[in-house]
Amino acid sequence: MKRLAVTLLGLGFAWTGGEGGAVAEPAVAQAVQGYARLIAPGEADDPRVIEALRHVPRVEFVPPEWRHRAHADTALPIAHGQTISQPTIVAVMTHLIAPQPHMKVLEVGTGSGYQAAVLARLVRKVHSVEIEPELATEAAQRLERLGITNVEVRTGDGWAGWPEAAPFDAIVVTAAPPRVPEALVAQLAPGGRMVVPVGPAGGIQQLTLVEKGRDGGVRHTVVTDVRFVPMTGGRPAGR
């Protein structure tokens, strides 16, 4: 709790001083609070995750008609009936993979590219796959415009993962499959972590942490209830 207060104070300085190119977004302060509530009790929030949120201008990832809401800690519509996630959930998912600078991460569901941009500040390389070609193209262009060079976006079905780039140190799935896709578990490196909202389309899903042990054993931990857009696609063999 003491640590959280210190973190919020730090954000306060950023708003008034505009220090280090940080983004002054109230959503970030709310995300910091929401995130601290959602991670396991007693577990410290990760200052690097908060730093990454502060530096990614969410307003750039939101369609023009929703820009006035970009600073709110809520999910917002993007094209094709999809959404950009709530900053609190982006913080929680980023925290759960325990990002480190050497890591190679797979994201399933590029959407606007916001989660990928946050990850890109914390890890070496992000591979992000998006099933809607237009969203993939727009996100790639947006990331390039923002000078983010360590994210590779491609159009594809995330049920199959990204076999050529596997194994991944971590996988972040930002659309909800009814169960954990096996191809993704297979593409997780030993010691790797995957975070995925598992559950029915249009319902409440369980944000689940999947940890692959060094011996290849897999452990699932449910973190919190969430609501994501469904993971579509899925080849019979890949499911």
- Hey, what amino acid is at 204? I
The single residue among 35, 114, 162, 168 that binds ligand SAH, judged by CB under 6 A, is 114
Please list, in sequence order, all residues whose beta carbon lies within 8 angstroms of the beta carbon of residue 12, skipping any fewer than 6 positions away. Answer: none
Integer Cα distance of 113 and 141 in angstroms: 10
Integer Cα distance of 149 and 213 in angstroms: 31
Of the residues 82, 83, 85, 174, only one is catalytic, namely 85
Nearest to 113 by CA among 42, 179, 56: 56
Site string for ligand SAH, 27-56 (x = CB under 6 A): ------------------------------
Under the binding rule (CB under 6 A), the answer on residue 74 touching ligand SAH is no
Under the binding rule (CB under 6 A), the answer on residue 175 touching ligand SAH is yes
Under the binding rule (CB under 6 A), the answer on residue 157 touching ligand SAH is yes
Under the binding rule (CB under 6 A), the answer on residue 229 touching ligand SAH is yes
13 burial class (0-12, 13-18, 19+ CB within 10 angstroms)? exposed
Reduced DSSP (H G I as helix, E B as strand, rest coil) percent helix, strand, coil of the chain, to 5:
40, 25, 35
Under the binding rule (CB under 6 A), the answer on residue 87 touching ligand SAH is no
The single residue among 7, 115, 205, 208 that binds ligand SAH, judged by CB under 6 A, is 115
Under the binding rule (CB under 6 A), the answer on residue 159 touching ligand SAH is yes
How large is the greatest C-alpha to C-alpha distance in the chain, in angstroms? 54
Under the binding rule (CB under 6 A), the answer on residue 153 touching ligand SAH is no
Q: Which is nearer to ligand SAH, 72 or 217 (CB)?
A: 72
Closest approach, Cβ 87 to ligand SAH, in A, equals 10
Under the binding rule (CB under 6 A), the answer on residue 25 touching ligand SAH is no
Integer Cα distance of 150 and 119 in angstroms: 10
Q: Check if the beta carbon of residue 187 is closer than 8 Å to that of residue 209.
A: no
The single residue among 109, 161, 192, 199 that binds ligand SAH, judged by CB under 6 A, is 109
189 burial class (0-12, 13-18, 19+ CB within 10 angstroms)? middle
User: Is 128 a residue of the active site?
Assistant: no
- Hey, what amino acid is at 191? G
Under the binding rule (CB under 6 A), the answer on residue 111 touching ligand SAH is yes
Under the binding rule (CB under 6 A), the answer on residue 197 touching ligand SAH is no
Under the binding rule (CB under 6 A), the answer on residue 231 touching ligand SAH is yes
As annotated, the active-site residues are 85
Q: Which residues here bind ligand SAH, judged by CB under 6 A?
A: 82-85, 108-109, 111-112, 114-115, 129-132, 135, 157-159, 174-175, 229, 231-233
